[in-house]
Structure 1
């Protein structure tokens, strides 16, 4: 038996004003998307904004259904829209923000497991990391250099 250590690193910013100006713009787009989310059941709105290598910004937000939980997360809405509208174009950065109409979300909210899996496949296929920035409604922002930092033992098509 051999034990291995898995190490993840991240940069933490105290607020949006500390982000580079291009990332502030991306996060503001994610906030705009979050404000248009359809979340009448969970009351938890999420917005995502993706910067593609062709400088297009793709937005996504969570979309819920009365057949809860058959809705869709913001991150997957955005990545599938990017894949549909711009096939083969690499994703450079992703900004995510979340808020609740029940209580203030004041700590970073990263992608759920299903979104991590979906995003990891795009990152693996494009053979370049995707920078991820995520936050709540206010407060600190976490940045990882790669989606695989959030999913170190990823499952991909090489297992199939």
Structure 2
């Protein structure tokens, strides 16, 4: 038997105000698009904003459906739109914010497992890491330099 040790590095900012200007602007776009979420069932709204290497910013919000699991998370809405509209562009960073409509969400909310896998698929395809910033509605912002900090044992096309 052997043991595998997995290290994860996350930077913690006390608030959105501590971020660099570009990152703060991206997070503010995620906050703004969170308002467009369609979340009548979970009452949990999520917004995501991607910065692409061509300078474009693509946004997405979660879109639920009564026929679960037909809805889609904000991160995947943005990622898939970026892939469809700008197929040759690389994703440089993604900002994610989430909050419940019936209470204040102060803790950073990371991407769900399906979104982590989708982010990894693009990171693997483009062969460059994607910076990930995530927060609740207010409070601390976490930053990961790559999805591999959040999904260390990845599954890619090489297993198929």
Short-chain TM bin: over 0.9
Residue 85, structure 1, aligned to residue 89, structure 2: no
Q: TM-score, normalised by structure 1?
A: 0.98
Q: Which residue of 2 aligns with 1:10?
A: 10
Deviations, residues 91-119 of structure 1 (Å, cap 9, x unaligned): 00000000111111000000000000011
Deviation at residue 68 of structure 1 after TM alignment: 2.9
Deviations, residues 52-105 of structure 1 (Å, cap 9, x unaligned): 000100000000112133210000000000000000210000000001111110
Q: Which residue of 1 aligns with 2:119?
A: 119
Q: Secondary structure at the match of 2:92?
A: strand
Structure 2: distance between partners of 1:103 and 1:70: 25
Q: Which residue of 2 aligns with 1:58?
A: 58
After the TM superposition, which parts of structure 1 deviate over 3 Å for at least 4 consecutive aligned residues? none
Q: Which residue of 2 aligns with 1:134?
A: 134
- Aligned residue pairs: how many? 160
Q: Which residue of 2 aligns with 1:37?
A: 37
Deviations, residues 101-160 of structure 1 (Å, cap 9, x unaligned): 111100000000000001101001100000000000000000000011110100000000
Runs of at least 5 residues in structure 2 that lack an aligned partner in the other structure:
none
Q: Secondary structure at the match of 2:5?
A: coil
Q: Which residue of 1 aligns with 2:22?
A: 22
Runs of at least 5 residues in structure 1 that lack an aligned partner in the other structure:
none
Deviations, residues 15-70 of structure 1 (Å, cap 9, x unaligned): 00000000010000000110111111110000000000001000000001121332
Q: TM-score, normalised by structure 2?
A: 0.98
Structure 1: distance between partners of 2:130 and 2:24: 17
Task: State which drifts further: 60-69 or 120-129.
Answer: 60-69
Structure 1: distance between partners of 2:146 and 2:66: 34
Structure 2: distance between partners of 1:121 and 1:69: 20
Q: Which residue of 2 aligns with 1:102?
A: 102
